[in-house]
A and B are shown apart, each in its own frame.
Chain A
């Protein structure tokens, strides 16, 4: 119904259909990349936070090597990363063009980003809690699962929110390799075909998405954070 209203009053129906399709593409790419990025980035972040010299899962060499890999990936501009890893993308997705293929570079970019955010959240956990857990006989794995992750969860949720917002931005660039989505639509129709109303629509949809993701993340983080007393 809302589609009809939009199409009647502002844009021709085929354009509206394009915007809807692009929005769905963007949501798909971002959701899958954020999901995979979390699956890979969460353990990586936990490892980075706990494997330094003299720490819980001390493995200084692995820590240094993974840290360097993470830094290298993080310092490559996303648009360069997309092009640079095309052979890898083809290997994983079977093709290097299209929305599905675009998920590969998005995941590769999201993983180290999420890992660093998770690492930061874990490092914020008071060292006294780890000491207390060691004192009552917890193993390193138990400390990670029962102390570090639950205590860092509000921070991790905020980090993931930030990662999703960043991925929305990154996803606009995958049009360069034929990935769909809102960014691609905005460039091809709004910019190259001089359709400012399409450009405006794309920007509005992106703003709404970012707002929605951010306030959802904020709310979830707040409800998980028991450090602050809230009166009912």
Chain B
């Protein structure tokens, strides 16, 4: 009996060549002129570099005013950079004249926080609009519109006006409209920020499905950690016009380097201390008190019985104060806030013990 030997590397050689990013920002800065005579110019972005691989989902997270709206508007040329280059699918968006830019925008879909649907057109009419603009004929528009409404699960609402639809349904129409001209890239501008948590989940689910089934690259901006966690594989944190941290969602969220990133994580819960504890927290050791330590369990260590071992092997008892176990990008992740003996020697032993087992620790303060 003989076995067909699979050709080695036939499928994987392509992967060895790094894929050309479909969206690339090279040293992009944007400054808005000040309003009124003599008003100082307002810098929005400062030397931003960003690359998005084809078929991936990148979440850009930032506070309002951090520059994320400007960032996403640069990608489809709604804003022009003051300096630097914006390249999408091989075309330099930042350098295109208006007419070519309009053509290029057909391969860049966009969805919005407030949906931006025409109130005077039905769901089908809204989806048809980009097709009319692109000059499709009537039959093609009808066929494509039906196909898209079917894709977003609104086939039965084709003749409804936006006022007759719920927020989630409106955003589905928005998504169908954004996909009408078969774009390669979808830009999502806070697309779920006006929706309740359950509708947000279903819209993010739809976006995830579109990303997988159509191999559509998605660049989304948001101020909510939960959105990035739910859908993105990569995250960039933007603060005061700069990208301060970027990488794999799991890495960034479990080992945040920047204060901004931590503040986003804090809102997520599990990382904030219970108020009764936070109030009593002192920066300096308290004689006879406890040190409050946050332990972060990542990936494979998340399920280890480390505290039990700490007690058994090092003889140090930990007092559990707060904690959560969660999943980020499909990998388990936990944080635990514990009270450890405040004496410097014992504390150092405990921290060393935990570090040896691959856990990240952070001393938050001391309580009596």
Complex interface residues of chain B between 107 and 125 (CB less than 8 A to chain A): 108-110, 112, 114, 116-121
Contact partner of B106 (CB less than 8 A), chosen from A126, A133, A137, is A137
Q: Are B121 and A137 in contact (CB under 8 A)?
A: no
Q: How many residues of A contact B (CB 8 A)?
A: 24
Say if the beta carbon of A90 comes within 8 Å of chain B: no
Interface residue from A128, A150, A226, A228 paired with B116 (Cβ < 8 Å): A128
Stretch at the interface among B6-14, B84-92, B174-182, B339-347: B174-182
Q: In the bound complex, what is the Cα–Cα distance between A146 and B118 (angstroms)?
A: 10
Taking the complex as formed, is A134 at the interface, i.e. its CB lies under 8 A from any CB of chain B?
Answer: yes
- Residues of B with C-beta under 8 A to A153: 120
Interface residues of A (CB under 8 A from B): 126, 128-129, 131-139, 142, 146-147, 150-151, 153, 224-229
- With A132-B110, A135-B105, A136-B129 in contact, is A147–B76 under 8 Å at CB? no
8 A–B contacts, CB within 8 A, in A order: A129-B118, A132-B177, A136-B106, A138-B130, A153-B120, A226-B119, A226-B121, A226-B163
Number of A-B contacts (CB under 8 A): 79
Q: Which of A131, A136, A226 contacts B120 (CB 8 A)?
A: A226
* Chain A residue contacts of B178, Cβ below 8 A: 136
Q: Are A135 and B114 in contact (CB under 8 A)?
A: no
Complex alpha-carbon distance, A98 and B104, angstroms = 58
CA distance A110 to B114 in the complex (A): 37
Residue on A nearest B33 in the bound complex, by CB: A54
Q: Are B133 and A137 neighbours in the complex by a CB distance under 8 Å?
A: yes
Beyond contacts A131-B112, A135-B187: 4 other A-B pairs, Cβ-Cβ < 8 A, are: A129-B116, A134-B105, A137-B104, A229-B161
B78 lies within 8 A of A137 (CB): no
Q: Judging by beta carbons under 8 Å apart, are A136 and B163 in contact?
A: no
B132 touches A136 (CB 8 A): no
Which residues on the B side are within 8 Å of A126 (C-beta)? 114, 116
Bound: A135/B103 CA distance, A:
10
In the assembled complex, which residues on chain A have CB atoms less than 8 Å from the CB atom of B164? 229
Knowing A136-B105, A138-B133, the reply to whether A151 touches B118 (Cβ < 8 A) is yes
**Given A146-B129, A147-B118, A136-B112 contact (CB < 8 Å):** no
**A227–B114 alpha-carbon span in the complex (Å):** 15
Query: Do B119 and A137 touch across chains, with their CB atoms under 8 A apart?
Result: no
Q: A128-B114, A146-B132, A146-B133 are in contact. Are A136 and B177 (CB under 8 A)?
A: yes
> Is B134 on the interface with A (CB-CB < 8 A)?
yes
Highest count of chain A CB atoms <10 Å: which of B104, B163, B164: B163
B106 in contact with A226 (CB, 8 Å): no
Residue of A nearest to B130 (CB): A136
What are the nearest 6 A-B pairs in CB distance? A132-B116, A136-B130, A128-B116, A137-B105, A135-B110, A226-B161
Report whether over half of chain B's contact residues are helix, strand or loop; otherwise say mixed.
mixed
Counting CB contacts under 8 A, is B102 at the interface?
A: yes
Q: How far is the CA of A121 from the CA of B163 in the complex (A)?
A: 19
> Are B102 and A139 interface neighbours, CB within 8 A?
yes
Cβ–Cβ contact B105 & A229, under 8 A: no
Q: Would you call B78 and A136 a contact (CB within 8 A)?
A: no
CA distance A30 to B238 in the complex (A): 60
User: CB-CB < 8 A to B187: which residues of A?
Assistant: 135
Q: Is there an interface contact between A134 and B78, defined as CB atoms closer than 8 Å? A: yes
Contacts of A147 in B (CB 8 A): 118
Taking CB atoms, residues of chain B closer than 8 Å to A142 are: 133
Q: Evaluate contact between A137 and B130: CB separation under 8 angstroms.
A: yes
A138 CB contacts on chain B under 8 angstroms = 102, 129-130, 133
A226 and B162 alpha carbons, distance in the complex (Å): 8
CA A224 to CA B120, docked complex, whole Å: 8
Residues of B within 8 A of A134 (CB): 78, 105
Given A135-B78, A136-B130, check contact A150 B163 (CB 8 Å): no
Looking at the assembled complex, report how far the CB atom of B2 sits from the nearest CB atom of chain A, in whole angstroms: 56
CB distance from B366 to the nearest CB of A (A): 51
Is the Cβ of B112 less than 8 Å from the Cβ of A128? yes
| In the complex, residue of chain A having the shortest beta-carbon distance to the beta carbon of B122 | A226
**Are A135 and B163 in contact, CB atoms less than 8 angstroms apart?**
no
Give the distance in Å from the alpha carbon of A133 to the alpha carbon of B108 in the complex.
12
Q: When the two chains form their complex, are residues B105 and A150 in contact, meaning their CB atoms are under 8 A apart?
A: no
